[in-house]
Structure 1
Amino acid sequence: MKERKFPVILFSLIFAFLIWASVNLGNQFTISIDVPVKIEHLRADQAIAIPLPKTVRCTVQGTGWQILNTIFSPSLRYIIDFKQLAKKDTLFTYKELNELANISSALHILETFPETVLVRLDNKMTKTVPILPVMNASFRDGFGLVGKVKTSPDSIILTGANSLLHNILYWETNNIMLNDINAPVKTNVMLAESLSFEIARSHSTVSVSFDVQPIAEKTIPDISVEIIQIPGNKKIVLIPPKISIIVRSGVNNIAPLSEKDFSAFIDYKSILLDTSGMISPNIIGPDDVKIVQLNPNKIQYVMRK
């Protein structure tokens, strides 16, 4: 008997709810609706120069039925038709926003947020900028970064208004957080979001990679020091004529290094400006190797006529 009563009770509750909803939805309500902004007929050589809101929030008043019909309407949107704009800069006020809103005329729009929308147009351009990886990384004791952090692709193509792209010199990735690293890393990461959705990007993710090795030091002896830009009628004696250096890098990098991988030089102009009789040579070596010490740090020079 109880099993037969349950469907009857359920049907009664549903019927009662429908009656209640039908009666109450005829009453007046005030509600806020986010209306999406749609752009139409923007010329191919033009772009929006300042960010437009993605939505306009409208506070409307009407019956429950009218509000529901509006919310679920597939045509609910604010339409900005650039075919009808004669100027590069157009300011839509509260009254004009109401006219642009594709909202049932049975509803009364009480207010909009924002109250005004400025539309500014500019010439469209395309620009390629390098990608800058942003990373917070910590390495296991004895390990470290060897070489540079690389991204693939290493650049991004941006399309948008000339005034928006003019000052963009690079594009960052989202922050990469890595801890206790003791091996080479390769990971995919999202690019930082644009502050303006009017800038189109060629891609939204990149691959970030870098080498990690145990860090070691090595002494490289007998590197000859050369004097550059010296006139043919001048002669300078260096004491000593050779130096040694201590370099630091990954073990795989420094193991094969010899004096042939480095060059040491002193510019003759630096000697002319020097008054101490001692000068430090410049050292050039592989990019991913750090020079931590010169021995000796300064070389004595003697000018002969």
Structure 2
Amino acid sequence: MAIIKLSATERRRVSVFFTCLLLAGSAWVLVTLSRTYNFKVRRVLTYNNTPQRRAFHSLQPDTVNVTVRGTGWQMLFSKMNAENLPVKIDLRTLDREDYVVLKAQIKDINKSHELQYEVIGFDPDTLYFDFSNRGVKRVPVRLMAAIKYQQQFAQSNHIIMRPAYVTITGPSNLIDHIPFWKTDSLKADDVGETINTRVNLEAVKEGNISIYPKSIQVIVPVNEFTEKTIEVPVKLINNPEYYNVKVFPLKVKVTFTTPLNNYTDIDAEYFEAQADLDLWKKHDYKMLPVKITKIPDFCKVVKIEPQYVDFIIKK
């Protein structure tokens, strides 16, 4: 294989050549990127000054092609930048018209200096809207929560939301199908005490719907749990023939977990234990399983002793 040997002078010349080539290429790139170009970007539209007396529904997607003027650098970074800065559109003219001409707002959009480059056009240039009756509806709030508790701690009472309802305003044909409104996710780990915080409501996705208020107070009662055991009488069900039935034992021991603040208050009256005689009549059971059919909120059965009861039927 032939090897080209260069003298020291020739190596210097080759080095100078490639250095000059690199500098020339860099200068060309800098000059090219410093020039002004027209290029298109995809932008989401957000609406200001929405009509208060007219409900509306956009007849086209809320993302449009925007023709802008900027440097080559801006064009390059517009392709690389993942942030999709919205363009704010004024809907004040919808009080008297059924459409909005975007071209008429270019001057105000450029004055706002919210975009990094000059807007020169939109595609589509005109937004059309469908109008319907504006309605008001009050719906319950649904809390979206992901809470992890410390060992032996848990939710000890019903969650309090203030307010528990929000008011939705918008086109009747849209809000009639909204049964509730979600919150943003409430996330918490290693919780060992009551949570008292404000949670934002889920953002409105349609520009013609509004909600009030935008956030609510959320109180999640949290307490330490412990075990307690009480005796509960066994109630016989499904005995329409009124057989004279005796069950043994008459009571079962129910072990359950309960919040510490309710420990002394909970007794047998808060529970109901049942044995179903249908299991004997229809399936020839020799012993009847015991089911707990009534239990206080936020208590959890750990075990029942015994789980089955004997019975004697006297006809």
Please classify the TM superposition score into its range, dividing by the shorter chain length.
0.5 to 0.7
Q: For 1:124 and 1:270, how far apart are their aligned partners in 2?
A: 58
Q: For 2:302 and 2:177, how far apart are their aligned partners in 1?
A: 37
Q: What amino acid maps onto 1:81 in structure 2?
A: L
Q: For 2:197 and 2:226, how far apart are their aligned partners in 1?
A: 26
Q: What amino acid maps onto 2:167 in structure 1?
A: I
Q: For 2:205 and 2:249, how far apart are their aligned partners in 1?
A: 58
Q: For 2:197 and 2:131, how far apart are their aligned partners in 1?
A: 39
Residue 182 of structure 1, aligned match among 161, 171, 192: 192
Larger mean CA deviation between 188-197 and 278-287 belongs to 278-287
Distance 1:267 1:122, change over 3 A: farther
Q: What amino acid maps onto 1:236 in structure 2?
A: V
| 1:293 positional shift | 1.6
Q: For 1:193 and 1:253, how far apart are their aligned partners in 2?
A: 38
Q: For 2:39 and 2:308, how far apart are their aligned partners in 1?
A: 79
Question: What per-residue deviation string (whole Å, max 9, x for no partner) do you get for residues 253-273 of structure 1?
Answer: 223322232222345556654
Residue 141 of structure 1, aligned match among 141, 148, 151: 151
1:48 aligned partner: 56
| 1:187 positional shift | 1.1
User: Is 1:162 aligned with 2:165?
Assistant: no
> RMSD over aligned Cα, in angstroms?
3.7
Contact 1:224/1:263 (8 A) holds in 2 = yes
Distance 1:171 1:84, change over 3 A: closer
User: Is 1:246 aligned with 2:246?
Assistant: no
User: Is 1:126 aligned with 2:136?
Assistant: yes
Distance 1:39 1:140, change over 3 A: closer
* Alignment of structure 1 residues 1-305 onto 2, 5 Å: 44=53, 46-50=54-58, 59=67, 77=90, 80-81=93-94, 83-85=96-98, 97=101, 101-102=104-105, 111-114=121-124, 117-221=127-231, 223-228=232-237, 230-231=239-240, 233-266=242-275, 272-277=281-286, 278-305=288-315
Q: What amino acid maps onto 2:270 in structure 1?
A: D
Question: What per-residue deviation string (whole Å, max 9, x for no partner) do you get for residues 179-207 of structure 1?
Answer: 32222221112111111232221201111
Corresponding residue SS for 1:163: helix
| 1:209 positional shift | 0.8
Unaligned 5+ runs, structure 2: 1-35, 70-88, 108-118
Distance 1:204 1:268, change over 3 A: farther
Percent identity at matched positions? 20
Q: For 2:183 and 2:282, how far apart are their aligned partners in 1?
A: 45
TM-score by length of 2: 0.64
Number of residue equivalences: 247
TM-score by length of 1: 0.65
Distance 1:282 1:143, change over 3 A: closer
Unaligned 5+ runs, structure 1: 1-27, 62-75, 86-91
Distance 1:123 1:235, change over 3 A: farther
Corresponding residue SS for 2:140: strand
Corresponding residue SS for 1:194: coil
Distance 1:266 1:161, change over 3 A: farther
Q: What amino acid maps onto 2:172 in structure 1?
A: N
| 1:150 positional shift | 2.2
Question: What per-residue deviation string (whole Å, max 9, x for no partner) do you get for residues 224-243 of structure 1?
Answer: 11224633643332222211
